[in-house]
Amino acid sequence: MKTSKFVAIVTAFGAAVTLAACSNEDSGKEEATATTASSGAEQAPAAETPTAAELNEILARATDPNLPMEERTRTVQGGENAVEIFDVMTQAKHESGADFQVVEPILPGYTPTEVLAAVNFTQPDQGPTTAENVSFVYEDGTWKLSQSWACTLIHNTVAPDQVPAMCGAQAPEQAPEEVQIEDQAPAPAPEQAPAL
């Protein structure tokens, strides 16, 4: 059940990313060119594209109970405001045996401070699943797993009652939308067909 939910989330997110990339591809290039030409200082915060190994290190540090919490909070966007997420991530990884592995290629994201990567997700009793377009953001001089993807990974490895508050609000928004899309998709087509 969790695997199919995870695959549905990954598929829906991948479709949204593809559509957004197609519709914004040219305008993003023009904006980047204009920004570069107008002010080099605005481009300074963007960092070099990280490697898969560097992003894997971020995931490893986020779930390492031996590191100080201050260091762990620098691995997830908004982590400093929800330190409980790191204990949940660590516990989930330990209890489920889940393993997350970032793989090449690392692609530019929608902004100069974002990259997208594929993450292989495995659990002992299940086959591997690949999550495409996992977002990492560059904030405060370091790359971090985006809050939305940290929460997606948590939702797919822990029971709903163990989801931290930082991610709790996202679960109801994502799950009903997916159900509504699936439930409503067949209904509008017959209603629209007779109207034509």
pLDDT at position 169: 54
Tokens of 159: 């029971």
Q: Give pLDDT, residue 20.
A: 33
What single letter denotes the amino acid at residue 66?
N
CATH class label, 52-156: alpha beta
Per DSSP, what are the bridge partners of residue 108? 115
Distance CA 22, CA 123 (A): 33
DSSP one-letter string for 2-67 = HHHHHHHHHHHHHHHHHHHHHHHHHHHHHHHHHHHHH-HHHHTT--PPPPHHHHHHHHHHHT-TTS
What is d(CA 128, CA 101) in angstroms, rounded to the nearest whole number? 10
Domain positions in the chain are 52-156
Residue 8 pLDDT greater than 70, yes or no: no
d(CA 48, CA 99): 26
**Per residue in 136-159, pLDDT tens?**
999 999 999 999 998 887 887 778
Percent of the chain exceeding pLDDT 90 equals 35
In contact, 155 and 168? CB cutoff 8 Å = no
The answer to whether 83 and 73 have CB atoms below 8 angstroms apart is yes
